[in-house]
Amino acid sequence: MGFGWQELLIILVIVALVFGTKKLRGIGSDLGGAVKGFKDSVGTDEAGEDKAAEADTSVKKESDKPEG
């Protein structure tokens, strides 16, 4: 009791008519960029983790400096 290809095609056509193809392309592009960013942040290697640790320590050093 699932959706067949015919039902999915009908739903796709209705969605395309409601939102328009330009808006759907924009949504797809934004979603693809978000997925890519998520994969990049999750797939960090040890060098990336070291860089993140260095960035954390440099931020702490800058915040320890007195203002003025």
- pLDDT, tens only, 19-52: 888 888 898 899 999 999 999 888 865 555 555 5
The boundaries of the domain holding residue 21 are 4-40
State the distance between the two ends of the chain, measured CA to CA, in whole angstroms: 70
> How many domains does the chain contain in total?
1
Supply the pTM of this predicted model: 0.43
Residue 65 lies in a domain: no
Residue 56 lies in a domain: no
3-class SS of residue 66: coil
8 A C-beta contact, residue 24 and residue 15:
yes
Residue 23 lies in a domain: yes
* Best CA proximity match to 15, nearest among 4, 25, 1, 2: 25
Residue 58 lies in a domain: no
